[in-house]
Structure 1
Amino acid sequence: MTHESDKVIIVEGLTDKKQIKKVITEDVEIICTNGTLGVERFDELLYTYDLDNKDVFILVDEDESGIKLRKQLARELPHAEHIYVNSEYREVATTPEQILATVLVSKRIAVNPIFLV
């Protein structure tokens, strides 16, 4: 089973996904890892979403578990681009929409212009 979008954003949780969905207008697949990834789960994601052939973006929280996940994903997906939220907000889910839209558009992801103030 493959997905049509050429872009994939990997996040930690459902609240992160919901926050991103609020601001983007592009058809982007958003994958929730729900924390750390085991080898089997990662392989399943790699195959299901064809991650080796997609534009992959990693957007995780700026806390201990997010940094650990980012390092793991960086090893497994060296072609992935990293998107960072300011550590002041710590979590993707609590990052203001305007800030999130700005970092997403900087990575060529279409966002609703009302958030680009």
Structure 2
Amino acid sequence: MTNIPEKIMIVEGLTDKKQVETVLDDDVLVVCTNGTLGVEKFDEMLEEYDLDHKEVFILVDEDESGFKLRRQLRHELPHAVHIYVSSEYREVATTPFDILATALAGRHINVNPNFLI
């Protein structure tokens, strides 16, 4: 657990993770839930990544499964910062890099400046 960064970002899937990691220029661990998040899996994540003591960001799709996951995480991790993609793009994975970078930078996450307009 000692090598885990202080910033953790929770996303839904691998394509979301890839999209986010492309624009990041910060020491952020991007963790996938792979959609649903049961109690046992959440408890494992909580312990493995020490989520109660980290700066946690939630970035999920603007669809029903994303809303459900966001509600669950809001309840389980009230200290987490929520980042939203525009409903125009609906999914993190399809959000243009410049839009995603701007959203992340707005939450004080360092991004590759080439993606900022």
- TMscore range, shorter length: over 0.9
Partner of 1:102: 102
User: C-alpha distance in 2, partners of 1:3/1:75?
Assistant: 27
**In the alignment, does 2:22 pair up with 1:22?**
yes
Q: Quick check: 2:13–2:33 contact (8 Å CA) kept in 1?
A: yes
Q: Quick check: 1:12–1:35 contact (8 Å CA) kept in 2?
A: yes
* Structure 2 residue ranges without an equivalent (≥5): none
Count of matched residue positions in the alignment of Structure 1 and Structure 2: 117
| Shift in Å, 1:2 | 4.7
Note the 1:31-42 alignment, pairs <5 A: 31-42=31-42
TM superposition score normalised by structure 1: 0.97
Amino acid at match of 2:51: L
User: C-alpha distance in 1, partners of 2:51/2:61?
Assistant: 21
| Shift in Å, 1:52 | 0.3
Amino acid at match of 2:43: D
* Matched position secondary structure for 1:20: helix
Q: Quick check: 1:12–1:33 contact (8 Å CA) kept in 2?
A: yes
Q: Quick check: 1:59–1:82 contact (8 Å CA) kept in 2?
A: yes
Partner of 2:54: 54
Moved segments of 4+, more than 4 Å: none
* Structure 1 residue ranges without an equivalent (≥5): none
Note the 1:70-85 alignment, pairs <5 A: 70-85=70-85
Q: Quick check: 1:3–1:49 contact (8 Å CA) kept in 2?
A: no
* Matched position secondary structure for 2:70: helix
Query: What percentage of aligned pairs have identical amino acids?
Result: 68
| Shift in Å, 1:27 | 1.3
